[in-house]
Amino acid sequence: MSYVSRGFRGRRKDGAGGRVPPGQYLTDDFPVLSAGPTPHTPLDEWSFSITGEVDEPRTWSWDEFRALPTETVTRDIHCVTKWSKLDTVWEGVPVSALLEGLDTAAEFVVAFCDGGYTTNLPLEDVADGNAWVVHTYAGEPLEPEHGGPVRLLVPHLYFWKSAKWLRGLALRQEDEPGFWENYGYHNHGDPWKEQRYWGD
Amino acid sequence: MERTALLGRLTWRLAGVAEVVPETARTATLVLDVAGWPGHRAGQHVDVRLTAEDGYQAQRSYSIASAPGESQLRLTVERLDDGEVSPYLVGELRAGDAIELRGPVGGYFVWEPGAGEPLLLVAGGSGIVPLAAMLRRRIETGDATAVRLLYSSRTPADVIYAAELERAASLEGIEVIHTYTRSQPQGWTGYARRIDDAMLAEVAWPAAHGPLAYLCGPTSLVETAASGLVAAGYDPAAVRTERFGPTGG
Amino acid sequence: MDDASLRLDGNAAAGLLGELFAVDLTTARCCCAGCGAAEPLGAEAVYVSAPGTVMRCVHCDHALAVVVHGGGRYWLGVSGMAWLEIPEPASA
């Protein structure tokens, strides 16, 4: 192992028992991680869409999207860079509600975003009440640096799957690896199985 | 054409801490002995890695403060209140300890005598560190390049290397211009605001002289100064920037 | 945190690139496959706080290179670079 630095602990918190997946450290912060410049799409040009393997694509303007019924949820989140943050509070639209009544043979979803970021998920990981499109964090509108106006929230997977600056979900019959999945990150990303990289 | 450097294998080395020298209330210089140090060029940096007993690691980059001719390696670190590495380096680390570092790296943000002149150095806060290394290089080689350093600090007490910069400014061909953005010395008649286009117009070498500029500090200062110099006619390729971001925490 | 501070200069990736390449690439000129502009890598933009390091073209934001390090491996994607012009190393 590397030389141990006398007296160094880092910024980690103690505790939390079984709520922290293997290899993770607890934090009170909300680190900002970014692979590119923060997009700033004016809300009057913004839209959210369900596209791909559907009979009829759906689109909402910002006003229409904000008018949709929401849920407030409290969840723990886990970043593949090893920090975990407990009891984060979000408000948004369940993905299942956005897909309601949709006829599709698709088994996969690609989340697509301003700035070109994408991430892929099995449809069952987002359709069954375990994913939301959120616009509010800790009671405040989601800040651009954290993915506002809306981001995907899929807390049961590593947080790179909770795509920032989300503009829509494309339903696909074939799985299509997204940005990080193409460069080594695990296709599924379950923190409890420590699925960080290819082959894990 | 610029040459690049053959790195060989870039490995982590152990550096012995000879001394930790306070510079200002929030900054200190680590004086290090590094066995087998290959030498460096002014402007380069090192990556520093800390490891906790349970294997947790954190890594940050720090510019080298010492001139290439010095026998010990010096890093000047600013302690960030919410930092993870800097509060350890400035606060916990003491003589007799050791730290892992890797380098030197970063051949793009380098100045040596002959690289270009006149030289404009623009620093904000701890961005002075690599630029001071360049100034020290200019002095230790007896080079005659005309240098102007524009250095932005919050208050006079925040000026790093204050006494040394005052001595440097008394040398032929070196000018140091301070601007203080929050509070100024008694009787100060100099600049008392953030760097802006008007200040650059008065301080920077005229573009027609073909100057070379190095800018280092917080992102907003670096971007303001870079676009200001380019707008004033500087060749964009002659304006080198090193933004200090989260890697310095 | 001011999110503009997440965007650094290419020089900040020098150490990471030095883990993979025997020459310092920060002075190598890179041609962007997105817009065709050529700049030294040290002058391009780099984002280091992500799950990986991403270098982007300062003219068009196209991802020039992506480096991920983990699980005992590195992944390097350079499809965003049309070419690299690397000066010969100065002799030791």
> Which tens digit of pLDDT belongs to each residue from C11-27?
999 999 999 998 999 99
C76 — pLDDT class (breaks 50, 70, 90): very high
A11 — pLDDT class (breaks 50, 70, 90): confident
pLDDT of residue A199: 95
**Residue from the list C6, C49, C71 with its beta carbon closest to the beta carbon of A197:** C71
Tokens matching residue B134: 């360049």
Q: Does B52 touch chain A (CB under 8 A)?
A: yes
User: Looking at residues A78-99, what average pLDDT do you find?
Assistant: 97
Q: Does B47 touch chain C (CB under 8 A)?
A: yes
CA distance B14 to chain A (A): 8
Average pLDDT, chain B: 94
The single residue listed with the structure tokens 């009891």 is: A87
The single residue listed with the structure tokens 């992506």 is: C66
> Which C-chain residues 7-26 have CB contacts (< 8 A) with chain B?
7-12, 14-15, 18-19, 21-26
- Domains of chain A, with CATH numbers? 20-32+52-193 (3.90.420.10)
Q: Which helix (H) or strand (E) holds C75?
A: strand C73-77
- Residue B1 in this model has a pLDDT that exceeds 80: no
Least reliable range by pLDDT among A131-140, B5-14, B38-47: B5-14
Q: How far is CA B230 from the centre of its chain?
A: 22
Nearest Cα residue in chain A from C49: A33
**Assigned CATH for B119-248:** 3.40.50.80
The single residue listed with the structure tokens 């074939």 is: A174
Q: State the pTM of this model.
A: 0.93
pLDDT of residue C2: 52
B82 — pLDDT class (breaks 50, 70, 90): confident
- Domain(s) labelled CATH 2.40.30.10 in chain B stretch across 13-105
CA distance A16 to chain B (A): 17
| Closest listed residue to residue C14, CA positions, set C52, C41, C33 | C41
Dihedral angle of Cα A142, A145, A151, A154, to the nearest 10 degrees: -100
- Residue A9 in this model has a pLDDT that exceeds 50: yes
pLDDT of residue A19: 92
- Residue B240 in this model has a pLDDT that exceeds 70: yes
pLDDT of residue B247: 46
Per residue in B103-122, pLDDT (tens digit) is 999 999 999 999 989 999 99
Per residue in B112-167, pLDDT (tens digit) is 999 989 999 999 999 999 999 999 999 999 999 999 999 999 999 999 999 999 99
Instruction: Tell me the one-letter amino acid at A94.
Output: P
Least reliable range by pLDDT among A7-16, A53-62, B208-217, B231-240: A7-16
The single residue listed with the structure tokens 């030294």 is: C40
pLDDT of residue B54: 87
Q: Cβ separation of B5 and C23 shorter than 8 Å?
A: yes
- Give contacts of C20 with chain A, Cβ < 8 Å: none
| Closest listed residue to residue C58, CA positions, set C13, C15, C7, C2 | C7
Instruction: Tell me the one-letter amino acid at B48.
Output: V
* B239-244 and B119-124 beta bridge pairing: unpaired
Burial state string for C4-15 with b = 16 or more CB within 10 A and e = fewer than 16: ebbbbbbbbbbb
- Residue C71 in this model has a pLDDT that exceeds 80: yes
Per residue in A114-149, pLDDT (tens digit) is 999 999 999 999 998 999 999 999 999 999 999 999
Q: Cβ separation of C89 and B2 shorter than 8 Å?
A: no
Q: How far is CA B38 from the centre of its chain?
A: 20
C85/C92 Cα distance (integer angstroms): 21
Dihedral angle of Cα B221, B225, B231, B235, to the nearest 10 degrees: -130
Average pLDDT, chain C: 92
- Domain(s) labelled CATH 3.40.50.80 in chain B stretch across 119-248
pLDDT of residue C6: 86
Angle between helices B128-140 and B162-169 in degrees, nearest 10? 40
Phi-psi group of B91: left, alpha or beta (phi > 0 → left; psi -120 to 50 → alpha; rest → beta): left
Tokens matching residue C73: 């491996």
pLDDT of residue B248: 44
Beta bridge partners of C89: B4
What's the burial of B142, exposed, middle or buried (CB within 10 Å: 0-12/13-18/19+)?
Answer: exposed
Q: Does B60 touch chain C (CB under 8 A)?
A: no
Neighbours of chain B (3+ CB pairs under 8 A): A, C
* pLDDT-above-90 percentage for chain A: 90
What homologous superfamily does CATH list for B13-105?
A: Translation factors (2.40.30.10)
- Residue C1 in this model has a pLDDT that exceeds 90: no
C56 — pLDDT class (breaks 50, 70, 90): very high
| Closest listed residue to residue A134, CA positions, set A157, A151, A118 | A151
B249 — pLDDT class (breaks 50, 70, 90): very low
> What string of DSSP letters covers A138-156?
TTEEPPGGGT-S-EEE-TT
Q: Cβ separation of B100 and A1 shorter than 8 Å?
A: no
- Note whether A191 and A21 are within 8 A (CB): yes
